[in-house]
Amino acid sequence: MAAGGPSRALLTRMSRQQVAVERARRAFLTGRTRPLDYRIRQLKSLQRCLEERQADIVTALKKDLHKSEQGTALFEIYGVQGEILLVINKLSDWAAPRPVEKNLLGISDQVYIQPEPLGVVLIIGAWNYPWAVTIQPLVGAIAAGNAAVVKPSEVGVHTAKVMEDLLPLYLDKEMYPVVTGGVPETQELLKQRFDHIFYTGNSTVGKVVMEAASCHLTPVTLELGGKSPCYIDSSCDLTITCRRIAWGKFSNCGQTCIAPDYILCDPAIQDRVVEELRKAVKEFYTDDPRSCVDYGRIINQRHFKRIMAMMEDSTLAFGGENDESQCYIAPTVLKDVKPGAKVMQEEIFGPLLPIIPVSSVDEALRFINEREKPLVLYIFSPDPKLIKRMVAETSSGGVLANDCLVHFSVSTLPFGGVGNSGMGAYHGKYSFDQLSHMRGCLIKSLSMEGVNKMRYPPHTAKKMDWVRYFLLSQMTVSLLGKLVLLPLLFLIVAVGLQRFFQ
């Protein structure tokens, strides 16, 4: 192998996945991602791609998911553009050394955390919001100074092709290659050594990714999903509540990892909830959602059949109309659903909304806590005490009260799961931190060697007394560390010790 990289003969024997990873690593080792100017240029180029090629992105998503131009802009483009602008404005602050509190012995030292790039990151995207959930991690990888191999989901065929064609036109093609393909290509990628793997998808594949990463001790971020519960307090304004739930559930035809998966409510309000949901669906998608430009389609027939099978043992409240040839399933609400029903056994990821009657908040909490930790807990209530109680007595990746989905757009909040719904978090600074190594740095002087005599053998009783004194002094520093004169006091003590041990 030549010093500059693998030979041509070796490259011909490698798979295209190996070649992409090898070239990305060689590009990273040149050090050109280190300067912030380089990272910002790449981010601005990515921003330009989203602006100049929006029509191509819209066309591909229309073919894959029947997304409208407005829906694509709202859910796919604007959020990523906002993320890029935020990163460009904040990058110099995030990448700067971060001073930390010193102890007494280190009072004259430089002590700080230096964020640095990890290396080569693998980003495996999802098909439901392919630009949002693939490009946002890429923004974080670029900002942190990494190389990144981008693997779009093969399920969104047209979007994967557009991503493969467009990104190399705007980004450093050696540093940020796009690798397409299905399961065999993904498996080959996972055999390679990466410095971080960022996967968005389901928990079954998440386990495969984590197992593959363990071979190289590669850290992972897993953005998964699960059955996010939605509790409705009986004292809610049900018209507003159900409008917001309907929007959160039926956007993108229910194919949203943070969609409310099921409703928990008192049996006394179930019929009103059904009626208000029916009104909201009509308001959003007309009497004929099939002909509404803003209502999507199921990604393929395999998922269509999976979703339809979920309804078999539940009572239909409204909806249920479908057309397999168009992968169309109408917005559908199921009522009086039993915990053991098929629709409650896995994440729905489609336009079915089960309602499970519960007699009290206590029963709702038990129901939630007996299951895997969800990606989001939704609570609808005008009562702050009830909201705080549900937050305190449950665990989930995030919590959103009195609305749906919108927490995803808040870059100052970490977005991610817990337990079965994922590990790690991203968005804004959290993306930068997630894809950086936080390197602890301590820079000492070669002077004042006398102070160090207390740690050197022989370990006499006198030295141990001074060690104990320093430990107790450190506790005092923690309590009084904000006093302006303390640094001067430490210096006087250090000089005194220096003389004592000479």
Domain that holds residue 177: 8-224+430-438
Residue from 427, 436, 345 nearest 144 by CA = 436
Nearest of 191, 165, 151, 181 to residue 18 by alpha carbon: 191
Q: Is 467 in the same domain as 401?
A: no
The residues, ordered by sequence, that sit 6+ positions from 37 with a Cβ below 8 Å of its Cβ are none
Q: How far are the Cα atoms of 197, 314, 403 from residue 280, in angstroms, in the given order?
A: 40, 22, 14
Structure tokens at 153: 């989901």
List 49, 253, 257, 327, catalytic entry: 257
Instruction: Report helix, strand or coil for 333.
Output: strand
295 CB neighbour count, 10 Å cutoff:
25
CB 14 within 8 A of CB 22: yes
How many residues appear in the chain? 502
Residues 273 and 353 in one domain: yes
What percentage of the chain's residues is helix, strand, coil (to nearest 5)? 50, 15, 35
219 and 237 assigned to the same domain: no
- Strand order of the sheet with strand 196-200? 147-151, 120-124, 196-200, 220-223, 422-423
**Is 262 a domain residue?**
yes
Q: Measured between alpha carbons, how far is residue 394 from residues 36, 73, 231, 374, 385 in Å?
A: 41, 34, 12, 10, 14
Whether 249 is covered by a domain: the verdict is: yes
Are 199 and 124 in contact by the 8 Å Cβ rule? The answer is yes
**223 is known as an active-site residue:** yes
The answer to whether position 281 is within a domain reads: yes
Q: Are 253 and 290 part of one and the same domain?
A: yes
Name the DSSP class of 392: H
Residues 206 and 109 in one domain: yes
Shared domain check, 82 and 166: yes
Cα distances (angstroms) measured from residue 279 to each of 276, 378, 451, 493: 5, 21, 77, 75
The predicted pLDDT at position 304 comes to: 98
335: in domain: yes
Per the DSSP assignment, residues forming a β-bridge with 221 are 198
Q: Is residue 425 part of a domain?
A: no
83, 223, 276, 347: the active-site residue = 223
- Residue 466 pLDDT: 78
Looking at the fold, whether 468 and 397 belong to one and the same domain comes out as no
Task: Determine, yes or no, domain membership for 389.
Answer: yes
For residue 131, is it within any domain? yes
Cβ atoms of 152 and 166 within 8 Å: the answer is no
How would you write the pLDDT of the chain (502 residues) with one tens digit per residue?
Answer: 344 555 565 555 578 999 999 999 999 999 999 999 999 999 999 999 999 999 999 999 999 999 999 999 999 999 999 999 999 999 999 999 999 988 777 778 899 999 999 999 999 999 999 999 999 999 999 999 999 999 999 999 999 999 999 999 999 999 999 999 999 999 999 999 999 999 999 999 999 999 999 999 999 999 999 999 999 999 999 999 999 999 999 999 999 999 999 999 999 999 999 999 999 999 999 999 999 999 999 999 999 999 999 999 999 999 999 999 999 999 999 999 999 999 999 999 999 999 999 999 999 999 999 999 999 999 999 999 999 999 999 999 999 999 999 999 999 999 999 999 999 999 999 999 999 999 999 999 888 787 788 888 998 888 888 777 767 666 555 555 544 445 555 555 555 555 555 5
Task: Determine the number of helices (DSSP H) and then strands (DSSP E) in the chain.
Answer: 18, 17
The answer to whether 163 and 178 have CB atoms below 8 angstroms apart is yes
Beta carbons of 222 and 209 less than 8 angstroms apart: yes
Do 239 and 374 belong together in one domain? yes
Same domain membership, residue 264 and residue 396: yes
Any idea what the CATH number is for the domain that residue 61 is in? 3.40.605.10
Query: pTM here?
Result: 0.91
Amino acid identity at 162: V
**Domain end marker among 438, 473, 488:** 438
CATH code for the domain in which residue 245 is found: 3.40.309.10
DSSP string covering 75-142: IIIHHHHHHHHHHHHHHHHHHS-EE----GGGTTSEEEEEEEE-SEEEEE--SSSHHHHHHHHHHHHH
Q: Are 395 and 419 in contact (CB under 8 A)?
A: yes
**Do 400 and 479 lie in a common domain?**
no
Compute the CA torsion angle 423, 428, 430, 432 (nearest 10 deg).
110
Task: Verify that 359 and 434 share a domain, yes or no.
Answer: no
Q: What is the pLDDT of residue 180?
A: 96
Q: How far apart are CA 97 and CA 146, in angstroms?
A: 18
Cβ neighbours of residue 477 closer than 8 Å, sequence gap 6 or more: 103, 104, 486, 490
Residue 432 has which token pair? Answer: 């930068």
Domain membership of residue 446 (yes or no) is: no
Residues 49 and 90 in one domain: yes
Please state the domain count of the chain. Answer: 3
